[in-house]
Amino acid sequence: EFYKEKDFDNMEKVYKKIEKEIKELAPIEATIKEAREVENLHNLIKNNGHNIELTESQIELAQKI
């Protein structure tokens, strides 16, 4: 809205509020990322006949997905 109105001062205020919220949400984002990695590893082991012995490349792939 402030962008459309070309009101930089209010844009700055809103940006600072968003910046604060992002700092609070960052730990949640990291937790979600870790949970996805665990989920990927679990599914990989499950689909690999419950074989826990994974190669480095399998582990890296699970972390990247």
Alpha helices in the chain (DSSP H): 8-47, 56-64
Average pLDDT over residues 17-42: 88
Q: What is the pTM of this model?
A: 0.58
Q: Given the structure tokens 């190669």, which residue do they identify?
A: 55
Taking 90 as the threshold, does the pLDDT of residue 15 lie above it?
yes
* Per-residue confidence band for 14, with pLDDT thresholds at 50, 70 and 90: very high
DSSP 5: T
Q: Please, what sign has the CA dihedral across residues 27, 32, 37, 41?
A: positive
DSSP 48: T
- Rounded-to-integer distance, Cα 3 and Cα 9, Å: 10
pLDDT tens per residue across span 39-65 = 999 998 999 899 888 889 988 888 887
Average pLDDT over residues 9-38: 89
